[in-house]
Amino acid sequence: MADFKNALISCQKCGRLIAVKARDYESGAIQCTHAGCGQINPLTQPYYDERILKGLPEFGRLVHQANPTVKYPLRLGINVVGHSPTCEVMVERLIHDGRCYISRRHCTIEVIFDKWKGSFRYQLLDGASDVDSHHHKNSLNGTLLDGYLLQNGEKIDIGDQGLLGLGGKDFFRLEAYRIPPRMLESYLMLKPLEPDETQ
């Protein structure tokens, strides 16, 4: 556990500074001593240490609905999905009625670690940044999430087992990665609430 001695925090109610001693952290809260206040300020805010990410075997994947043996692993951060070799998730050029409905850089999935919950968020956006100009470019045939067509610039979280539709013809299911609870527990951290100063 970190050294929490002699920190100063701002009172949640009156905003004035309160000196906190190590023993106050053990009780989990401190009462504001300023006249007319008396606010009980919590001193701990549990979160999961991001170092846990280094030891994980994966960050979730997309599974082709029509052929579940085809799986595409996701990485932490930005994953552009499409059939261009510049994509982090490069899918096959799937042909329907003589054409492919998936754009070269079709959509973007950002995998974000939520350190407060100890779980991953999968944020979906239609289109992707262009490799050369870095401007955002929408897909030609659109991106669906559970049957809903994403609007321009709209970001939506994909739930576990959410069904992603690329161009209305090809579907992929998200298999979210859940960190094993016992592993998660060992990375649980307690942090003082908004310390303004430590000596």
Phi, psi for 65 (deg, rounded to 5):
-65, -40
Q: Which residues bind Zn ion (CB under 5 A)?
A: 11, 13-14, 32, 34, 37, 39
Contacts (Cβ under 8 Å, ≥6 apart) of 48: 115, 116, 117, 118, 184, 187, 188, 189
Whichever of 21 and 178 has its CB closer to Zn ion, that residue is 21
What's the closest the beta carbon of residue 39 comes to Zn ion, in angstroms? 5
Nearer to Zn ion, 31 or 151 (CB): 31
Contact 124, 158 (CB under 8 A): yes
Minimum distance from residue 158 beta carbon to Zn ion (Å): 42
CB 37 to Zn ion: min, Å: 3
Degrees, nearest 5: CA angle 167-147-134: 45
- The nearer residue to Zn ion, 39 or 123, going by C-beta atoms, is 39
Q: Which residue has the tokens 């959509």?
A: 107
Which residue has tokens 């067509």? 149
Is 13 or 115 the residue whose CB approaches Zn ion more closely?
13
Measured from the CB atom, is 9 or 74 closer to Zn ion?
A: 9
Buried-state track 130-165, b at ≥16 Cβ within 10 A, e below 16: eeeeeeebbbebbbbbeeeebeeeeebebeeebebb
CB of 165: closest distance to Zn ion in angstroms? 52
Q: Could you give the CA distance from residue 196 to residue 186 in angstroms, rounded to a whole number?
A: 28
CB of 50 to Zn ion, least distance (A): 32
| Min separation Cβ 191 and Zn ion, Å | 21
Contact (CB, 8 A) for 111 and 74: yes
Report the residue number, 14 or 189, with the smaller CB distance to Zn ion: 14
